[in-house]
Structure 1
Amino acid sequence: MNLSFFRYLGIVNKVLFSIMEVLNNICLDIVDCEHKTAPIQNEGIPSIRTTDIKNGFLDFKGSNKVSEETYQKWTQRLEPRAYDIILAREAPVGQVGIVPKGQRVCLGQRTVLIRPNKQKVYPFYLLYLLLSREIQHKMKVRASGSTVEHLNMSDIRNLQLPDLPSLKIQKEIGDTLGNLDAKIENLRRQNETLEAIAQTLFKHWFIDFEFPNADGKPYKSSGGAMIPSELGKIPEGWRVEKLGDLTQTITKGTTPTTFKKDFVDSGINFIKAESISESHTLVKSKFAYIDEETNIMLKRSIVQEKDILYTIAGTIGRYAMVTSSSLPANTNQAVALIRPDFKKIDPEYLLCYFASITYKHYLSSRIVQAVQANLSLGVLSDSPITIPEQRIKNLFSNVVVPIFSKKESHQMQIETLTKTRDTLLPKLMSGQLRVKE
């Protein structure tokens, strides 16, 4: 064989190997966490756990906090800075989030800090590349091969990536997807603020009883009359009723398999407990689907607009109001379907009541701890609800109903933007679509 043949092989090998890139080669550093549990504090610097990493973002609201001393100790090897990426080594394996500008953080257990080399890769491009279906699949395959599902540091450093486009194209793609996610996150935060406003008003009026009296002054602190009830003293003219007496129905569904029916790829939305988020919204990406025939067979649990769904098995106490965008829909036995009688109670009032500490404590003391924790429909139906006089009900509705309407509008925008992002992500990453198109 002559030299030209070997040169040809060299060229072929160079082309073949250039198709794939290794994560370690495009990063300045990839650092494991300290493998220690952070002492929990109410104030301090966030320590990011795997559960705080969610689809590109870091959840600081629910994270543990550490002292300045602990922070300095845990960041001696590498102090996280803006646009570093944090990856979860264990459940949820492969989730990544980016450190925002101006935010101090340290690594919690089973997390890894990835510092992109900005001369080779744009941080937001790398973030979305790691979130892409192809790379997520690679990480999960590696993790599932372990006794305990996790990624080891070698797996992460040697993670093979597709050949990278130019930094200019990387920036165009990263910024396009980043802007969409920023809009989504902004809407989510607005919804959290709206929720907090509604809950603060509810507590002030219906727990502290400082609603405006006839003169516009705080009722209780202005000497408003109080009367005894099973829930303690309540304002004169108010009453306590059972939830079941304020609703058209409280029921639950079942699974299609009970009728020897299977789930389908598309059709009627089937809402499960996992479809209801902690932020009181329905997560459509976690819906299953049934066909029309099955839906009719499960007619007892066909969901209507303004119904409230409340989880009563497994993870108990999550709830959400059904909006038109989630219909048609049905649900299963882990979710209670509560249909308010609108002549007696507003669903928005019930949503706020369900969030109150008093109501949560009442129900939590009545949970049955069996193979799977559960709450019976009977307990839910018999749960006491404080009902204010009509004037206060009307005042509260006038303020709160628009808040929930705004939340619903934001949620619909979030769903549209999320769908757009999820459609663009694989096309942009594969080169099938360019930003200018």
Structure 2
Amino acid sequence: MSEKQTVKFGDICREVKLTTKDPIADGYERYIGLEHLDSGSLKIKRWGMIAEDNPSFTRVFKKGHILFGKRRPYLKKAAIAEFDGICSGDIIVMEPKGSFLEEGLLAHIVQSEKLWEIASKTSSGSLSPRTKFKSLADLEINLPNPEEQKSILDILEKIESANYYSEGLSNTSESVEDLLLIDAINKLESKDCPIEKLADVCEVITVGIVNKPAELYCDHGIPALRSQNVKRGYISLENMVYITHEGHSKHKKSHLKPGDVVVVRTGYPGTASVIPESLEVSNCVDILIVRPDLERVLPEYLCAYINSPLGKGQVLEGAGGLAQQHFNVKELKGMLVHVPDLVTQQRIAECVNSIVEVVSSSDINSARRKSLETSLKRMF
């Protein structure tokens, strides 16, 4: 093989068309639907049980096969099967073909921007666009030499493993944060920890720009936070947008100050963070803004409280219990908050923030790994 060889996707991958009429009799226990695949992840973390749900699926997959979501491919759902089972007809089952590829590399090529782009372009149907394997088969793939393939695969597998453990760290840390805060509050006497409405312990509770914010966007200007910038306990500067200075001046109500608590209202409502000192001048789009009365409540404590089940439960109730509904100013003003003395708040906030800092650092490293992963996959 030369230093680089151009092949078609159909030269390195085939569609598997195994079926079953009686999956349980044929020894299959689990099934996979599109809802079980996570966007951008090769790992399958959920599945259904055939005996319990009795799905109508007939398509069979085996351990090691790649499950590719052909419906709405812009969602980028594809994963490696770690067990035998059956799957939805909206999933294409794939396996490697020929001797061009290092074993294990195909899954990473499938999860490349190049393939998702052609999958989206070749989709048909207005409500639920779907692609077909034959539409992908002619896509040209640039293959490095075998040694380079091994090196790339080794890096990609290490990135995948690190991301998996990083996600586990994030999930575990949230549980620890919640336990620390709830345990600390439960140990306080009720007279030392009164319950107040949020509106009574804050100077301002309002919402960011909601009326045609995109008309204010520009390449360089005032940073404007959106929901995706508000992580649990910290602000992410990834995918930041900017608004014009004129737009910033016109929307003074949504000006942010260091120490403000910002809360997501749509998508994952109730996710909260504190504006850091580094964002001295900024604005925001369609997120809730809370400016605490610093003589009553500390921003870091309030942020931890809203993120905990004590706050998040009220958020979900106010948003109708559905993650995609809005959580609005009225509901936030009525949120009930345990308000111990400032020294106790500081102690609780410091404990929670020590964990948040670890997760924040882990997420920053994950973003760097993602950038490296994208760069490597562009080689194909």
What is the TM-score of this pair, normalised by structure 1?
A: 0.68
Q: Is this contact kept in 2: 1:96–1:127, CA < 8 A?
A: no
Q: Is this contact kept in 2: 1:270–1:329, CA < 8 A?
A: yes
Cα deviation per residue 1:136-180 (whole Å; 9 max; x = unaligned)? 22111111x433443343445635232433333222223223323
Do residues 403 (structure 1) and 355 (structure 2) align? yes
From 54, 66, 70, the equivalent of 1:89 is 70
Cα deviation per residue 1:335-368 (whole Å; 9 max; x = unaligned)? 1012334443344433443244454454444448
Query: Take 1:168 and 1:115, find their aligned partners in 2: how far apart are those partners?
Result: 22
Do residues 186 (structure 1) and 165 (structure 2) align? yes
Do residues 253 (structure 1) and 253 (structure 2) align? no
Stretch moving more, 318-327 or 169-178: 318-327
Query: Take 2:184 and 2:115, find their aligned partners in 1: how far apart are those partners?
Result: 50
Do residues 309 (structure 1) and 262 (structure 2) align? yes
Query: Take 1:159 and 1:152, find their aligned partners in 2: how far apart are those partners?
Result: 13
Give SS of 1:251's match: strand
Query: Take 2:53 and 2:59, find their aligned partners in 1: how far apart are those partners?
Result: 10
Q: Is this contact kept in 2: 1:275–1:282, CA < 8 A?
A: yes
- CA 1:401–1:274: 2 relative to 1, 3 Å: closer
Query: Take 2:90 and 2:19, find their aligned partners in 1: how far apart are those partners?
Result: 6
Q: Is this contact kept in 2: 1:241–1:386, CA < 8 A?
A: yes
Do residues 244 (structure 1) and 224 (structure 2) align? no
Aligned to 1:122: 102
Query: Take 1:137 and 1:408, find their aligned partners in 2: how far apart are those partners?
Result: 31
Query: Take 2:259 and 2:30, find their aligned partners in 1: how far apart are those partners?
Result: 40
Aligned to 2:227: 273
Q: Which amino acid aligns with 1:254?
A: I
- CA 1:275–1:30: 2 relative to 1, 3 Å: farther
Do residues 172 (structure 1) and 165 (structure 2) align? no
Query: Take 1:247 and 1:394, find their aligned partners in 2: how far apart are those partners?
Result: 17
Stretch moving more, 67-76 or 131-140: 67-76
Q: Is this contact kept in 1: 2:261–2:290, CA < 8 A?
A: yes
Aligned-residue CA RMSD (Å): 4.0
- CA 1:386–1:106: 2 relative to 1, 3 Å: farther
Cα deviation per residue 1:176-228 (whole Å; 9 max; x = unaligned)? 2332343333323222221111112333343xx2x3xxxxxxx7xxxxx6xxx
Aligned to 2:80: 99
Q: Which amino acid aligns with 2:38?
A: I
- CA 1:118–1:295: 2 relative to 1, 3 Å: farther
Aligned to 1:21: 8
Please tell me whether Structure 1 or Structure 2 has the larger radius of gyration of its CA atoms: 1
CA drift of 1:419 comes to 3.0
Q: Which amino acid aligns with 2:241?
A: A
Q: Is this contact kept in 1: 2:288–2:328, CA < 8 A?
A: no
CA drift of 1:384 comes to 1.5
Query: Take 1:251 and 1:261, find their aligned partners in 2: how far apart are those partners?
Result: 21
Q: Is this contact kept in 2: 1:50–1:111, CA < 8 A?
A: no
CA drift of 1:319 comes to 1.6
Which consecutive residues of structure 1, in runs of 5 or more, have no partner in the other structure?
Answer: 1-17, 35-43, 212-218, 220-224, 226-234, 430-437
Q: Is this contact kept in 2: 1:27–1:116, CA < 8 A?
A: yes
Aligned to 1:412: 364
Aligned to 1:296: 249
Query: Take 1:349 and 1:287, find their aligned partners in 2: how far apart are those partners?
Result: 26
Equivalent runs, 1:206-245 vs 2, <5 Å: 206=185, 209=186, 211=187, 235-245=190-200
Q: Which amino acid aligns with 2:161?
A: A
Give SS of 2:8's match: strand
Cα deviation per residue 1:370-401 (whole Å; 9 max; x = unaligned)? xx954431331232111235564344234222
Aligned to 2:25: none
From 288, 298, 301, the equivalent of 1:349 is 301
Q: Is this contact kept in 2: 1:367–1:374, CA < 8 A?
A: yes
- CA 1:257–1:355: 2 relative to 1, 3 Å: closer
Aligned to 1:216: none
Give SS of 1:164's match: strand
Aligned to 2:331: 379
Aligned to 1:53: 38
Do residues 137 (structure 1) and 117 (structure 2) align? yes
Stretch moving more, 265-274 or 335-344: 265-274
Aligned to 1:66: 49
Query: Take 1:354 and 1:176, find their aligned partners in 2: how far apart are those partners?
Result: 38
Q: Which amino acid aligns with 2:260?
A: D
Query: Take 1:151 and 1:281, find their aligned partners in 2: how far apart are those partners?
Result: 37
Equivalent pairs: percent with the same residue?
16
What is the TM-score of this pair, normalised by structure 2?
A: 0.77
Cα deviation per residue 1:4-41 (whole Å; 9 max; x = unaligned)? xxxxxxxxxxxxxx844133x3235435899xxxxxxx
Give SS of 1:193's match: helix
CA drift of 1:317 comes to 1.5
Cα deviation per residue 1:281-327 (whole Å; 9 max; x = unaligned)? 66655543323443333343233445332233x53624231565984
